[in-house]
Structure 1
């Protein structure tokens, strides 16, 4: 199932969501302009490499700052057009409503914190991995969890694939997002040494979103900035 749009209008302009999408797209365009070797070096420098982070934490504390910064920078680096396109599609569909219920600044903090927790979860599961983790999926997983909590009955226009054909149907968010999370759990396992999907980052980000959204949602009386 691929979500295409929801029927959940917002009351405010989601400029943080738009800004995050723009930042990810700009970084991806920059990646496309890099020669192959420069691209590999960029991913290595900006991505979260669990083995490097673990090594720095245990034996090289003077290098921990750079390792810690990659927990943030990795959220804006992607490995291909499908990777960035799907992430930004999910962020646009579900992020604008969460920004609406949290406020702009709170949404940005929520997004980044979920991304950080997601990366920590993957590092904890694969501490010796030398494959850089990149992508906004962990942070966006937190957004999906928040949407599931806040708007379980919202209709999501979804592209559903059958054996020989596909169909676009409106499906409640609780089914779309619940099915997405179920797939992550079913696919959980040791990360391929050559790379692959950091499933535990998705699971960690989702659980973080479930736990944090009650604290981040604003009261109606608060100003939209917060």
Structure 2
């Protein structure tokens, strides 16, 4: 539907979004090792680190020779594997555009916890939707969906440059493309249960992200761009009234 390119949304609490950058580097490194450098083990990695609902919910047993991490760990490990370059690139682009401001609103460590919890929620809902599936779920989409939902609640009025229909660049208020994207995930969950994309993982991440940002954001960080939050470096002992956010 759209590809995010850039947002006009400066950081207010942190100088560098090093958790976001670290997550992107980790995903790229895992893909390079599992898919490029050692192409022959890509399938084994998917089975060993991917989330397999039938195994987790005791409908099937994974061959012991393929077990790499405990079943419960796959709620997280699956989110660092990707099928191909475009699968990786699309997820990392969303994380790059939207992750920094969510990290800014939550703080470094809470953002990392938030990201992993959204990934786990995505796997859980995927498992509920297809509990007997023996195919491994891989990809960061559940976690990224949580980031998108959090950004939607935090900064709906911020201008985001998006590539509409993969060819038309437009600056839009974030709530327009993000609301359409979020709605699409719920619609596709109902009408495309047998597709190659796990809409359940997307929906699980969205629900987790929307709920977690309410309780995990820094004290004083508003929702819906209600006020312009003053950077900590600019704080003084003098009380300054909040300023409405200019679009």
TM-score, structure 2 length as denominator?
0.81
Contact 1:5 1:157 in 2 (8 A): yes
**2:237 alignment partner in structure 1:** none
After TM superposition, list the pairs within 5 Å mapping 1:209-224 onto structure 2: 209-219=209-219
CA drift of 1:188 comes to: 1.2
Aligned-partner Cα distance in 1 for 2:219–2:152: 19
1:128 correspondence with 2:132: yes
Contact 2:152 2:174 in 1 (8 A): yes
Contact 1:143 1:209 in 2 (8 A): yes
**1:174 alignment partner in structure 2:** 175
CA drift of 1:92 comes to: 0.6
1:154 correspondence with 2:155: no
**Alignment partner of 1:77 out of 81, 84, 88:** 81
Deviations 1:104-143 (A, max 9, x none): 0010011111111111001011000011000111011111
Contact 1:56 1:67 in 2 (8 A): no
**1:5 alignment partner in structure 2:** 6
Structure 2 alignment gaps of length 5 or more: 62-66, 222-231, 234-247
Bigger helix share: 1
4+ residue segments displaced more than 4 Å: none
CA drift of 1:185 comes to: 1.6
Structure 1 alignment gaps of length 5 or more: none
**1:203 alignment partner in structure 2:** 203
After TM superposition, list the pairs within 5 Å mapping 1:1-226 onto structure 2: 1-11=2-12, 12=14, 13-31=16-34, 32-36=36-40, 38-55=41-58, 66-161=70-165, 166-189=167-190, 191-192=193-194, 196-219=196-219
Contact 2:60 2:134 in 1 (8 A): no
Aligned-partner Cα distance in 1 for 2:9–2:59: 45
Aligned-partner Cα distance in 2 for 1:115–1:182: 19
Contact 1:6 1:156 in 2 (8 A): yes
TM-score, structure 1 length as denominator?
0.88
